[in-house]
């Protein structure tokens, strides 16, 4: 893996530039770095959101035999920019009888849940923002703050449909979190670490990707993770929370302009985060394909890690969009039945299967 | 450094929301009338309070979730050391998982997983 570019060279160089060359104190150096990190996160977050919105509209259009946005800009590329501008110049107003505090706090929580989880994604070797030793555990903890946000939004808006939507999304998201956690645990058993960078490193050898290394149990975990993740992001056939034909727009009915924009943004980013985590944990993140043949491996290593990561992530995003625009919406009882009677028992059995595989050394080393 | 970054991320998220709100407030028009302040719901005037009692089914699943999620938390530290402990890890967690599965089986049998 010696050819993979290590991004920490850049960060170390920059830190040295600030402290040694410019002679700044630790406090100022770290402050500047943190501001830059924040700006980078904001930039990446909004750019990816725009790409996803455009992609969703195009993918949806092709699935429905339409051509999608084509008029604004070349190939309709500026459509999303126009949408965002429109959203920004809409008036923000509050419902009179809403629970003001909950109503205002909700978007903050939703965005925090999604930005927090977003920062855990490893873009390249050394290019991750948060890399705790309890990585995936903290990741699930932070991302579930989003549930609270959605619930508060629905409850605070003083709208019966929103309350129903809040209840539905809460019960759905907490239920599917079980399978999500169990699948991550299954992966952690094989990698032996919860640190996100460690998980990727553990998959970087020949035939190292987790779904290859852990064969059957890892493959089952991957599929269950994708289904549960799709439900966790409130998308696809699981979008009970904003079933527009029955609940107007669910929890964000009473939000105008940018207030609604945040929920929209978070939904798309959660889709990317789910795809990104699945790509990181099961498909090797930035690790290139390695098959043990030296010439092939070397060539693959020259492709930058970020290309691998984005490639895998967007492949999964596309898969989830395909699912969304293919299947009809489920009912709430069907959603809960799928989770509690099929996915969770399956994930539990799979966990034991993975333990057996690892304990007896049956995985591909 | 990790925790500094975590705080940075928190602040970034807050800045994003607050910043976009401020920009929207500055750019957007402002007007008020009484009808606009009413909840939209489905287009007709709302009757009564919206904070009404909801089916108990939701709470049942919330309680089940609480139970299983706490047990999942205990599985994380165990999962990290499975590779080192080998067969011993399987035996040691076997009893724990058995209780977990029995709990699920009990809830299933009692009909707690049915949506009524």
What is the pLDDT, as a whole number, of residue A2?
60
CB atoms within 10 A of CB B1: 10
Average of per-residue pLDDT across A72-84: 86
A346 at B interface, C-beta within 8 A: no
Report residue A363 as tokens.
């995985």
Listed by number, the residues of chain B in 36-95 with a beta carbon closer than 8 Å to a beta carbon of chain A are: 36-42, 46, 50-52, 54-55, 57-58, 61-62, 64-65, 68-69, 72-73, 75-76, 79-87, 89-90, 93
Average of per-residue pLDDT across A122-145: 86
Do B11 and A177 count as a contact with CB atoms less than 8 A apart?
no
Predicted model pTM: 0.90
Domain boundaries, chain A: 94-359
Backbone angles phi, psi at A43, to 5 degrees: -60, -50
For residue A292, give every residue at least 6 positions away whose Cβ sits within 8 Å of its Cβ, in sequence order, or none: A206, A207
Do A261 and B2 count as a contact with CB atoms less than 8 A apart?
no
DSSP A160-217: HHHHHHHHHHHHHHHHHHHHHHHHHHHHHHHH----HHHHHHTT-STT-SHHHHTHHH
- Of A221 and B60, the structure prediction assigns the larger pLDDT to A221
CA distance B106 to chain A (A): 13
Q: Domain B2-109 class?
A: mainly alpha
What is the pLDDT, as a whole number, of residue A331?
83
Q: What is the largest CA-CA distance in chain A?
A: 68
Average of per-residue pLDDT across A274-290: 88
Do A174 and B14 count as a contact with CB atoms less than 8 A apart?
no
| pLDDT one-digit tens code per residue, B20-42 | 888 888 887 887 777 777 777 67
Report residue A355 as tokens.
């333990």
Average of per-residue pLDDT across A123-132: 83
Do B40 and A254 count as a contact with CB atoms less than 8 A apart?
yes
* Set of chain A residues whose Cβ sits within 8 Å of the Cβ of B93: 355
* ipTM score for this prediction: 0.86
Distance of CA A311 to the CA centre of its chain: 14
* Set of chain B residues whose Cβ sits within 8 Å of the Cβ of A182: 72, 75
What is the pLDDT, as a whole number, of residue A3?
63
Average of per-residue pLDDT across B43-67: 79
| pLDDT band at residue A277 under the 50/70/90 scheme | very high
Distance of alpha carbon A102 from alpha carbon A109, whole angstroms: 10
Average of per-residue pLDDT across A171-178: 88
- Per the CB < 8 A criterion, the answer to whether A286 and A131 are in contact is no
B105 at A interface, C-beta within 8 A: no
Average of per-residue pLDDT across B94-108: 86
Burial grade of A346 (CB within 10 A; 0-12, 13-18, 19 or more): middle
| pLDDT band at residue B61 under the 50/70/90 scheme | confident
- Which DSSP state fits A20? I
Q: Which of A92, A168, A333 sits opposite B21 (nearest CB)?
A: A92
A355 at B interface, C-beta within 8 A: yes
Q: Which of B13, B39, B61 sits opposite A95 (nearest CB)?
A: B39
A161 at B interface, C-beta within 8 A: yes
Distance of alpha carbon A273 from alpha carbon A317, whole angstroms: 9
Report residue A181 as tokens.
């956690």
Distance of alpha carbon B64 from alpha carbon A174, whole angstroms: 10
* Set of chain B residues whose Cβ sits within 8 Å of the Cβ of A160: 41, 46, 50, 52
What is the pLDDT, as a whole number, of residue A311?
92
Domain boundaries, chain B: 2-109
Listed by number, the residues of chain A in 265-324 with a beta carbon closer than 8 Å to a beta carbon of chain B are: none
Average of per-residue pLDDT across A135-155: 88
| pLDDT one-digit tens code per residue, B66-76 | 888 888 888 88
Asked if residue A315 has pLDDT above 90, the reply is: yes
| pLDDT band at residue A1 under the 50/70/90 scheme | low
Do B24 and A45 count as a contact with CB atoms less than 8 A apart?
no
């Amino acid at each position: 893996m010696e050819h993979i570019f290590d991004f920490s060279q850049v960060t170390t160089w920059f830190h040295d530039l600030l402290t040694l060359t410019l002679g700044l104190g630790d406090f100022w150096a770290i402050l500047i770095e943190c501001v830059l990190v924040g700006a980078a996160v904001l930039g990446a977050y909004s750019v990816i959101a725009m790409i996803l919105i455009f992609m969703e509209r195009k993918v949806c259009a092709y699935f429905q035999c339409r051509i999608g946005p084509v008029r604004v800009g070349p190939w309709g590329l500026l459509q999303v920019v126009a949408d965002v501008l429109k959203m920004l110049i809409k008036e923000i107003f509050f419902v009179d009888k809403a629970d003001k505090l909950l109503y205002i706090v909700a978007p903050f929580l939703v965005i925090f849940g999604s930005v927090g989880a977003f920062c855990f994604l490893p873009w390249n070797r050394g290019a991750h923002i948060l890399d705790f030793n309890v990585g995936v555990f903290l990741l699930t903890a932070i991302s579930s703050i989003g549930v609270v946000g959605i619930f508060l939004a629905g409850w605070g808006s003083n709208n019966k449909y929103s309350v129903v939507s809040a209840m539905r999304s809460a019960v759905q998201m907490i239920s599917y979190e079980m399978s999500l956690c169990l699948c991550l645990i299954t992966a952690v058993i094989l990698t032996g670490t919860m640190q996100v960078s460690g998980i990727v490193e553990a998959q970087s050898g020949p035939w190292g990707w987790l779904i290859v290394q852990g064969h059957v149990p890892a493959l089952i975990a991957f599929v269950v993770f994708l289904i549960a993740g799709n439900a966790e992001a409130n998308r696809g056939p699981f979008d009970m929370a904003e079933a527009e034909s029955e609940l107007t727009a669910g929890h964000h009915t009473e939000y105008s302009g940018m207030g609604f924009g945040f929920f929209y943004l978070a939904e798309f980013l959660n889709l990317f985060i789910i795809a990104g985590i699945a790509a990181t944990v099961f498909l090797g993140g930035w690790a290139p394909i390695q098959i043990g043949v030296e010439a092939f491996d070397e060539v693959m290593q020259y492709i930058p890690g970020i290309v691998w990561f984005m490639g895998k992530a967007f492949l999964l995003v596309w898969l989830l969009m395909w699912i969304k625009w293919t299947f009809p919406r489920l009912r709430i009882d069907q959603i809960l039945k799928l989770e509690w009677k099929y996915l969770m028992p399956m994930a539990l059995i799979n966990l034991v299967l993975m333990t057996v595989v690892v304990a007896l050394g049956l995985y591909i080393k | 450094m990790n925790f500094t970054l975590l705080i940075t991320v928190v602040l970034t998220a807050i800045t994003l929301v607050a910043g976009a709100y401020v920009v929207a407030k500055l750019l957007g028009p402002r007007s008020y009338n009484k009808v606009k302040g009413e909840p939209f719901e489905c287009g007709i005037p709302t009757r009564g309070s919206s904070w009404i009692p909801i089916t108990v089914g939701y709470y049942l699943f919330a309680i089940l979730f609480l139970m299983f999620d706490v047990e999942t938390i205990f599985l994380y530290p165990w999962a990290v050391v499975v590779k080192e402990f080998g067969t011993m890890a399987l035996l040691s967690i076997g009893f724990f998982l058995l209780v977990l599965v029995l709990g699920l089986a009990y809830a299933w049998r009692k009909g707690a997983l049915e949506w009524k």
